[in-house]
Structure 1
């Protein structure tokens, strides 16, 4: 990702803040996996806008909810969290928003809790009520609680909390009319709702627990959950326990995890091939049309070979990115990913990583920036530093275009083989992270990792609408955050690839040196030779040939070396860079894709550039290298020292180079 973690409030953020100040705003708060987003989507009819809180990379979703009787309000879906009093960025921002410390305070707060697991989700409800805003509590998934034999007494909950409590189901729509009615009442001028007398926080008595700093709140929530349910407050079915015995088994658990991931990646390749072909054809048609409208010259080349080729080289992989995040959202919504925490925690503790680091490591598969920031929930500084050092080794969304490109080059007609390679790239990043954490534990960061305490959510049928929304937001976020950087670098690559211009006399001398005559060559061959000679004469060719000896042992030619250099600003740029470098020059009669160009690319001696050894080497390098300058800035900010950021960049670069060198030299000897 190419965004700064902390930046001044820009004009769009200012406008968004002003709009919220002028609207009737209700903040939505709740734990992860309580169905808060599903309820938000129900109330706003999926018409929401995603933006960042001013000066941060933390997302918030806003939408207008029709409350009937001609009234409406603006809902702000705050990040899912377990507490409003801890120090993570999400918790700090949510509390500041509710209390009005950061901007205009909301007129009310809607807290969403899980009817099937009240003892886990009520703690944050108490903290939200104590913020002093008019509050309404929605007990979601009420129908699942009834099916599990749990009868939630909403009146008791309301009395104990001192605010209205409504039973709802975001899945079926049950209770939504009553919820809207109470939201209308919430927005009327009224006395502020405060915590009921019976729910006043008790003195903290747990002095022996050194793991959970919120033991008092959870103990209070557990007591209230028992008092407000008639048949017990844990919604645990017999079959769920039997399934957990398999999915979290010491030996079967990892096998199931790997099988699920491979199946998910295979579906990504199967489902994405059609929209990718459509996008490829669309960009080819647009490039052809625009090239025909503009007169021949540098402007034509800039737009078609620079801007359109660079953007198209990344956009074509958008379907795979969206489908991948769709599959991950399905797995998370179903409750399976929480079981994966239990499976992987056994391995993480052995290498010196705390169980609390699993969530940041999982979040790093989207972007390392918010993942590193989320390590604030790890209390032990040693554990937190270890997690920060290895988080960038997790495969983020910016690496996906590179993985996809290499998988297509190696296995163009075998989705299952490509999926296995894709999963192997993810596995390599995780294995490398665990190996580095193990080394850190035995060297500069000695010590034992803290234990993991985790509530497993019940298994549920995943929501397709939520998964689609998540995929859309992640895909759009990828384009939004990377688009400006890709466009700027694409234009820069085109300029460096075009200037200075190759003198015709110098090209003629090169042909004569090679024993060729321009008059005897076919026109297409002559123009292709001229385009290649022009690139080598331009600045980018000289740069590439200067650094190419460094990357030659990895199997990279000068064009690939240029792609690697530009990718240190942002990983995903390498695809657009190669698209530009291999797409300049006159187009053949039949439009070819980037994949076809790379497959047929040859060096000056006529040897294939992207051999299997080179492809694997390139993949290994991008799995392990630190190629994201904003991540370095976040590392410095969160550790308080540039020393850790420099160490992170240095060890990852050396690790990537050595691993890619071993991969290339080994495969080259056997192929």
Structure 2
């Protein structure tokens, strides 16, 4: 099969290098160093993959002015050091503003919310041209210089679809470039055509079947949006006419071979993967396999990081003189931040696996499987995308519920989103799994999968109860385009994992660091005097001469912590959490985690790291696993570990999420309700889990 012919839409101009590129108003000044290009397209056309490859991860996420809707902004390096700003708009099927995302995208392209972009880059799917070209027509009608990127061009060739890009360019009236976000094919030409579009005048649009008797009326390179005028010579063309007919006609004229990719093997696979029961079994198996790989591949780098932080702490101890400052650095900073950082490999591998599953087209099939059960409990099909996004962070997931038009459906989704396992919970899950199954990756993966499943099951139960009580009604149906199966891009998955890992590191370097220092201060001051320590021993009928030196040091460290502010706080809250199997240190960790869930790990690392250095142990993870109560029993026994895991799966420990809930619902009442029901649910479930495991151990 011959390769598709590349469009030559316009002639490249070397004058571009002599021009000054102006920054876009309203954009972040650190990325707005060139002309602004808006990037849009349907979901599942590979738009984000193209954005990642063009920007090389030199991107940041911000909100549209006056909204909470995200857009990604990045720099694209062109020739001779020229830079443009690329704005990745939300995926959409139309610019007719039926949702908040479509409205802000339309306003941005039209220049109504801020400075209009200098050009528009439209991404369409080469295997489904007739479906994905519709939004291209609407974008062209805004009169911006436009470039069309036909993605998945290599998949189209393999499936017998041959696209005449030159003909497609002539019919649309703008340059068309065939690219592959997976292999990188066509990206050099894509960059050069971006320069062309930004530098020179665009061509007029000629609609399929319209050969004008005279020059058409144009605006930029698109038809003028005048519903009462003769827009195409002999034909009366309305910009609000059926875009699907236009797209189908255009795709038919410019495509040889199959119009839409079809594969009997794909259909057979879908019959299994989307089956009501077999699909669930496959979904559970895929998730279990993914988690097993996470633990199998992460155990070695985790051990290296754990040992590295322990070595760093030992080196600092040998350099700095004994005293509070050394304790602050080793126990507060290294112990607190290091206790969370050792879980970075698991986070990176987990998000890499999720990116692979999404890029392969499987996650869309999982949507179909889960939707059947979601609708039965009162969750709308449109909620799956926010629920999936919540596995990264609940805050953008709650913001993403704007795509759900029905208020009842939107409220139900917001109420259950925090029950999904976000990345902030992963360190807690990993800590518990490592202590329960230190050398059994498969068992640890099963525990990890069970934690995810518990969160989803709880969300379904809560949604069903809301359907029966506060928010009655039937949810809206799901309309979803299934993307084709494709070989996932390892490069894109690595970029996505890197991005999520960097966000985790950024949090560890700010919030976790500050809270770790605060915990150390509260755990160190005020100091217990020698007289006070001797008095406490006497009150407990303990004779100093009967204690060995290590025992005396351990008792002194414990007495110091209990005398400090945090010990007094722990004694106040400990009775509340004692039925869950938590000692006062875990109770303090739970309280501090309401600022941010992952802080509990750093808090426990600081609290259990203070005191004499244990013999024959070199890692922070081992110190937590070997912590003992006053009676010599292990703190983190099986019952306590399971109870702690269940509590963190279900509890609302994220104040920023509460603030976003208030903003999106317009009421503190819903935010308070969310906090109260999740706290009671977490406490009750953790109590049952602790009692159940205790009875069997």
Q: TM-score, normalised by structure 2?
A: 0.87
**Contact 1:269–1:320 (8 Å) recurs in 2:** yes
Which of these residues, 154, 158, 170, is aligned with residue 147 of structure 1? 158
Give the corresponding residue for 1:441. 467
Cα separation, 2, equivalents of 1:501 and 1:173: 62
Shift of 1:225: 3.1
Alignment CA distance shift 1:137-1:480 (3 Å): same
Q: How does 1:94-133 map to 2 (within 5 A)?
A: 94-101=105-112, 104-133=115-144
**Contact 2:31–2:85 (8 Å) recurs in 1:** no
Alignment CA distance shift 1:599-1:168 (3 Å): closer
Which of these residues, 608, 621, 629, is aligned with residue 595 of structure 1? 621
DSSP-derived class of the 2:60 partner: strand
Cα separation, 1, equivalents of 2:97 and 2:506: 30
DSSP-derived class of the 2:640 partner: helix
Shift of 1:284: 1.3
Shift of 1:43: 4.0
Alignment CA distance shift 1:226-1:453 (3 Å): farther
Q: TM-score, normalised by structure 1?
A: 0.91
Alignment CA distance shift 1:193-1:591 (3 Å): farther
Give the corresponding residue for 1:194. 222
Question: CA deviation digits over 1:348-388, x for unaligned, max 9?
Answer: 11001111111111111001111111111111111111111
Q: How does 1:94-493 map to 2 (within 5 A)?
A: 94-101=105-112, 104-190=115-201, 192-195=220-223, 202=238, 217-218=243-244, 220-481=246-507, 483-493=509-519
Matched, 1:65 2:77: yes
Question: CA deviation digits over 1:425-483, x for unaligned, max 9?
Answer: 00000000001111111111111111111110000000000000000001111222454
Cα separation, 2, equivalents of 1:146 and 1:96: 36
**Contact 2:391–2:420 (8 Å) recurs in 1:** yes
**Contact 2:145–2:197 (8 Å) recurs in 1:** yes
Shift of 1:258: 0.2
Matched, 1:666 2:695: no
**Contact 2:581–2:639 (8 Å) recurs in 1:** yes
Question: CA deviation digits over 1:576-631, x for unaligned, max 9?
Answer: 00001100012235443233222222212222211111111111110001111111
**Contact 1:624–1:652 (8 Å) recurs in 2:** yes
DSSP-derived class of the 1:353 partner: coil
Which of these residues, 590, 594, 601, is aligned with residue 568 of structure 1? 594
Alignment CA distance shift 1:26-1:290 (3 Å): same
Cα separation, 2, equivalents of 1:201 and 1:370: 40
Alignment CA distance shift 1:218-1:565 (3 Å): farther
Q: For structure 1, which segment, 403-412 or 592-601, has the greater mean C-alpha deviation from structure 2 after superposition?
A: 592-601
Cα separation, 1, equivalents of 2:618 and 2:64: 44
Cα separation, 2, equivalents of 1:483 and 1:119: 48
Give the corresponding residue for 2:13. none
Shift of 1:28: 2.7
**Contact 1:352–1:449 (8 Å) recurs in 2:** yes
**Contact 2:340–2:427 (8 Å) recurs in 1:** yes
Give the corresponding residue for 1:74. 84
Shift of 1:23: 1.5
Alignment CA distance shift 1:436-1:43 (3 Å): closer
Alignment CA distance shift 1:334-1:239 (3 Å): same
**Contact 1:86–1:377 (8 Å) recurs in 2:** no
Cα separation, 2, equivalents of 1:85 and 1:526: 74
Which of these residues, 660, 666, 669, is aligned with residue 634 of structure 1? 660
Q: For structure 1, which segment, 154-163 or 384-393, has the greater mean C-alpha deviation from structure 2 after superposition?
A: 154-163
Cα separation, 1, equivalents of 2:553 and 2:169: 78
Q: For structure 1, which segment, 459-468 or 503-512, has the greater mean C-alpha deviation from structure 2 after superposition?
A: 503-512
Question: CA deviation digits over 1:267-319, x for unaligned, max 9?
Answer: 00001111111111111122222233322222222222112211111111111
Question: CA deviation digits over 1:146-191, x for unaligned, max 9?
Answer: 2212222334433443322122233344434433332221121436
Cα separation, 1, equivalents of 2:553 and 2:25: 52
Kindly tell me the number of residue pairs found equivalent between the two proteins. 646
Cα separation, 1, equivalents of 2:74 and 2:454: 38
Q: For structure 1, which segment, 603-612 or 466-475, has the greater mean C-alpha deviation from structure 2 after superposition?
A: 603-612
Shift of 1:632: 0.7
Cα separation, 2, equivalents of 1:599 and 1:508: 30
User: RMSD of the alignment, in Å?
Assistant: 2.5
Shift of 1:21: 4.3
Which of these residues, 663, 671, 674, is aligned with residue 645 of structure 1? 671
Alignment CA distance shift 1:582-1:101 (3 Å): farther
Asked which structure has the greater CA Rg, the reply is 2
Cα separation, 1, equivalents of 2:508 and 2:102: 27
Which of these residues, 59, 63, 69, is aligned with residue 49 of structure 1? 59
**Contact 1:88–1:373 (8 Å) recurs in 2:** no
Higher RCO (C-alpha 8 Å, min separation 6):
1
Cα separation, 1, equivalents of 2:547 and 2:26: 61
Give the corresponding residue for 2:12. none
Cα separation, 1, equivalents of 2:564 and 2:26: 44
Shift of 1:641: 0.7
**Which runs of no fewer than 5 residues in structure 2 stay unpaired?**
1-23, 203-219, 225-230
Shift of 1:222: 4.2
Cα separation, 1, equivalents of 2:488 and 2:674: 38
Shift of 1:503: 1.5
DSSP-derived class of the 2:496 partner: helix
Shift of 1:520: 4.8
DSSP-derived class of the 2:365 partner: helix
Shift of 1:501: 0.8
**Contact 1:47–1:64 (8 Å) recurs in 2:** no
**Contact 1:26–1:73 (8 Å) recurs in 2:** no
Cα separation, 2, equivalents of 1:188 and 1:617: 63
DSSP-derived class of the 2:454 partner: helix
Alignment CA distance shift 1:17-1:100 (3 Å): farther
**Contact 1:129–1:194 (8 Å) recurs in 2:** yes
**Which runs of no fewer than 5 residues in structure 1 stay unpaired?**
1-12, 206-215
Q: For structure 1, which segment, 328-337 or 525-534, has the greater mean C-alpha deviation from structure 2 after superposition?
A: 525-534
